[in-house]
Amino acid sequence: MKVQINEESAKKFTRQYFEKQKIVQKIYEYKYASGDKPMMHIAFNIDINFFMPTGVTITSILENNKDMNFTFHIFTDEADEKDLQKVKQTAEKYKQNCIVYIMDMEPFSHFHIKHARFKRVSFFRLYMPKVLKKVTDKFLYIDADLICINSMRPFMEIDLGDKILAAVADLPQACQVKSTHLGLFNGKYFNSGVLWIDAKKWDANNITEQCFAYQGVSEEKFTCHDQDILNLVMDGNIKFLDNKFNHLGFDGSKASEKCIIYHFSGREKPWNIALTEYNIIWRKYLTISFWDNIDNPLPPKEPKNYYNYKQAGKFYFSHGNKLEAIKCYFWYSILKIRLKVNV
């Protein structure tokens, strides 16, 4: 049976509610784009700790697409002057546009959090089409844990037909488990880390309102966060894309030469660990960006980083470096124990 909405939320979060609420609290605009190059709008939702990865993603896009103009829309709950200055420097250096939106968190406060490492800012993507419909017909939403490695022009050539958004299917095993758990009618499940969205169709079909109707539903009903809600609401109403548009790079898997977006979609993030080819490419774009470099390929030996040492052990073992693998597995065990006993 398909997961049902919360009737109280459905009554509260109407079109009239969103028209009255001032959900965007403040806007910082850094506009330097000019000329007649095609303009693409790209949106992020992040918390204050993700400005650096976002800056790296933006840098990778700009380094690989110097024949295009971009407006980057960054939706966040807060920002400090240091990060805002770096966003401005990025826009100025590449002669592009960056806009930062400070959001009111209250309307998102009762969305479920399935895993502690995730934040409610991820639900901003359910609202942003209402903001962006005023400046563009279509835009690209992307997560901040990815890099661009080819031209972004193919996104602008996507024909949505009568669909509202386009996305790439999640990994096969995840699709089966999650679509069954949610009771999806079409039996398909997409990854919400890269979404090509028709903002006007989205708003005309009240997609934001439909998504917010799931606020307050028990977290036991879900396997993920906003991704589950989007799959429930968009069930059967999306265009599935080739995975070159969103290569899900678990464990450093190799992408095709046509890959546009390489997505570090697992728990292993390149700012924590840099051993695989794509981790190292991400670090290259970090070096080019205005954010501080990270020299160590492995994170500090702190309990919260235990998982990275497990992944490093797997990497070294698969590459024949058994001594380094043993060292990493040792620290994985120690750090995990320390985390459990809170030492």
Alpha carbons 329 and 310: distance in angstroms, whole number: 6
Closest to 243 (Cα-Cα) out of 311, 318, 314, 146: 146
Digit-coded pLDDT (tens) for 155-173:
999 999 999 999 999 988 8
pTM of the model: 0.95
Tally helices (H) and strands (E) across the chain: 13, 11
Q: Tell me what pLDDT residue 31 has.
A: 98
Packed helices 226-233 and 172-182: angle between N→C axes, nearest 10 degrees: 70
Digit-coded pLDDT (tens) for 264-293:
988 889 999 999 999 999 999 999 999 999
The phi and psi torsions of 248 (rounded to 5 degrees) equal -85, 100
Confidence band, pLDDT 50/70/90 cuts, at residue 250 = confident
> Are 291 and 251 a contacting pair, CB within 8 Å?
no
Q: Tell me what pLDDT residue 132 has.
A: 98
Q: Are strands 190-198 and 138-142 parallel, antiparallel or unpaired?
A: antiparallel
At position 9, the amino acid (one-letter code) is S
Give the CA radius of gyration of the chain: 20
Digit-coded pLDDT (tens) for 144-157:
999 999 999 999 99
Task: Give the pLDDT mean for 188-206.
Answer: 97
Alpha carbons 84 and 152: distance in angstroms, whole number: 25
223 beta partners:
none
Confidence band, pLDDT 50/70/90 cuts, at residue 223 = confident
- Topology (CATH) of 7-252: Spore Coat Polysaccharide Biosynthesis Protein SpsA; Chain A (3.90.550)
Tokens of 310: 């497990």
Task: Give the pLDDT mean for 50-70.
Answer: 98
Closest to 196 (Cα-Cα) out of 138, 126, 247, 263: 138
Contacts with 192 (C-beta within 8 Å, 6 or more apart), sequence order: 125, 141, 167, 226, 227, 230, 231
Q: Tell me what pLDDT residue 114 has.
A: 73
Neighbours of 318 (CB within 10 A): 11
Tokens of 42: 């790209």
Q: Does the pLDDT at position 214 exceed 90?
A: yes
Q: Tell me what pLDDT residue 117 has.
A: 66
Q: Tell me what pLDDT residue 267 has.
A: 83
Residue with tokens 């979609």: 265
The phi and psi torsions of 198 (rounded to 5 degrees) equal -90, 105
Confidence band, pLDDT 50/70/90 cuts, at residue 228 = very high
The phi and psi torsions of 70 (rounded to 5 degrees) equal -135, 145
